Structure 1
């Protein structure tokens, strides 16, 4: 088979569409013929050498995919060859075939274009698991950084669906898109966004922060928390080491947590898949949540997809589409 490979960590010039051995499913796994792949920031970080796959996982990028089951491994029940499935992966989807644990498969949501759905698995799993972790609930105010991106686009809609008030940061030119998704307030991230958050909350602060930025925003984020506010960091786009006034956090009785979906144990990832099917798929089926903007690029042109993602010009998700679709 062919797959997207990376000769060595670096820029998009390291990306190649090259022949590699076709993987074989082990016990409890299935082999899937790829139809579409969602592109994620983690893919870019892996290509650059900053986000290596877990031990024993393929070096081929790709954390979510859509395809048709081509082969069942031993001990797999409840699935059949020819079945179209979605998958949450630790790697491997940037290829003509990928292997995934059967417990990490998801059904395609009713009424949703399957290729669109390929870009919803990772964001759904990320947002739902992290809002569950910090206990976001109806009536609370959440600050979502990067509202026009793949995670942000979904997080805005999901937070509104569960009854939260949403403040988000985004560029000026993407503000209207965030409003269309349901954001109550959009703040230009290039401006002094911290006082704008406090003005928008009448100096109370926000109950929850979903942060993709990391170190650069750490202190400002904590200052923006309401009393007993909770922040969950899921990305480190602007640094991994920051300083923090613990007195501010203590006085707010605040909580800071951080998670990585890729590194979670298999049983936790399986539970998240079931949670997504239970909670998110019905919202997609009835139109409460929409897939948002998506840009499609041929699978073998993954370098172009990475270039687009890194440019910051894209809104929503980028989908790699196999040529036989």
Structure 2
């Protein structure tokens, strides 16, 4: 009988605080089935989905922002709708969606030429027969085990070879943040010479959206804390508006007479209404998250009489990730690596990540002990 291989991993034991994250060194290595590949994980990026899922914040029963909910002592350990997709999760679960790794094994002979190649993994597991059916979409590290482990099994169609001078940690910053940002700007149809407001501009998605908006030739107004203004200007932002001092809506209107064309909102909460006020006639608002608070109000007269459009941007469509890989290989975009932490220190890394003092992305290095 073959001996069962084991690996190091961090498992999420249930919804709750950081105590629900457990480092283990005896988790069985997963075995790929038909149409799947076994990936040796080299690095895995961290994103808000990890935090929100760990807390069970996605549940309809939660009406506060992430920071406020984190402080609640009575968070339930189980939920029927605690995942991004509004369903319950099976525990224990290995989280982590942003994988950079090497293909170790491919089930059968299919695409065996991938073995040994460095790859990025598209975290959106779309239905093979109907990828446009969003109701069937799954997410790596949520409905299936992800990359906070030495090995992960993924569909072979989600494996993308990458030729790049960037480090493993730098490449692990791209998947979630950049895929989400690209999806937002595509949905909002951002065009050359238009003006876009990007909230949460120093975060992973926001900082990615800045570079992608710059590629499109747009004018960019970032909403952020002013202590990050210099770094944001270096990324290509035209103006930085304080989210804390004064009225951001008034400041934005002074910069964009007649209103802005697009709002790319990554935070929601109290800022929502102010950002809607900034949209000009025919403006487009797109949101990928609401960590500052999910419950907002809207004066429907603004929507109707300004001919506004509103979009949600979660599931990243098929084909987006391949474009992202091309951008990376052609060095049209650059990684924004804030901090790297070893796997065993994931709790501390997530605590620092939640402080939101950084610009760019946190990454977990799997190879370091």
Instruction: Tell whether 2:92 aligns with 1:48.
Output: no
Select the residue among 297, 300, 306 that pairs with 2:341.
Answer: 297
Query: What is the SS of the residue equivalent to 1:308?
Result: helix
Instruction: Tell whether 2:328 aligns with 1:281.
Output: yes
The structure in which a higher percent of residues are helix is 1
Contact kept in structure 1, 2:342 and 2:368, CA below 8 Å: no
Show the counterpart of 1:65: 99
Shift of 1:140: 0.5
Structure 2 distance, partners of 1:103, 1:177, is 36
Shift of 1:167: 0.4
In the superposition, the TM-score normalised over structure 2's length comes to 0.80
Gaps of 5+ in 1: none
Residue 207 and residue 303 in structure 1: after superposition, are their counterparts in 2 closer, same or farther (change >3 A)?
same
Residue 35 and residue 124 in structure 1: after superposition, are their counterparts in 2 closer, same or farther (change >3 A)?
same
> Residues 99-128 of structure 1, C-alpha deviation per residue, up to 9 Å, x if partnerless?
111222223253322320111122221111
Contact kept in structure 2, 1:108 and 1:117, CA below 8 Å: no
Show the counterpart of 2:186: 132
Show the counterpart of 1:306: 350
Select the residue among 96, 118, 138 that pairs with 1:84.
Answer: 118
Show the counterpart of 1:194: 249
Select the residue among 212, 216, 221 that pairs with 2:275.
Answer: 221
Residue 74 and residue 37 in structure 1: after superposition, are their counterparts in 2 closer, same or farther (change >3 A)?
same
Structure 2 distance, partners of 1:171, 1:78, is 48
Instruction: Tell whether 2:14 aligns with 1:8.
Output: yes
Query: What is the SS of the residue equivalent to 1:319?
Result: strand
Structure 1 distance, partners of 2:278, 2:299, is 13
Shift of 1:70: 1.5
Structure 2 distance, partners of 1:76, 1:93, is 23
Most deviating of 307-316 and 177-186: 307-316
In the superposition, the TM-score normalised over structure 1's length comes to 0.90
Structure 1 distance, partners of 2:210, 2:163, is 19
Q: What is the Cα-based RMSD across aligned positions, in Å? A: 2.0
Structure 1 distance, partners of 2:276, 2:201, is 19
Instruction: Tell whether 2:208 aligns with 1:154.
Output: yes
Select the residue among 195, 202, 211 that pairs with 1:141.
Answer: 195
Contact kept in structure 1, 2:42 and 2:365, CA below 8 Å: yes
> Residues 112-155 of structure 1, C-alpha deviation per residue, up to 9 Å, x if partnerless?
22320111122221111221111111111111111111111111
Residue 293 and residue 34 in structure 1: after superposition, are their counterparts in 2 closer, same or farther (change >3 A)?
closer
Instruction: Tell whether 2:368 aligns with 1:321.
Output: no
Structure 2 distance, partners of 1:219, 1:319, is 33
Gaps of 5+ in 2: 1-6, 59-82, 124-139
Query: What is the SS of the residue equivalent to 2:270?
Result: helix
Structure 2 distance, partners of 1:244, 1:188, is 23
Query: What is the SS of the residue equivalent to 2:114?
Result: coil
Select the residue among 21, 29, 41 that pairs with 1:22.
Answer: 29
Shift of 1:282: 4.6
Residue 130 and residue 235 in structure 1: after superposition, are their counterparts in 2 closer, same or farther (change >3 A)?
same
| Greater Rg over alpha carbons, structure | 2
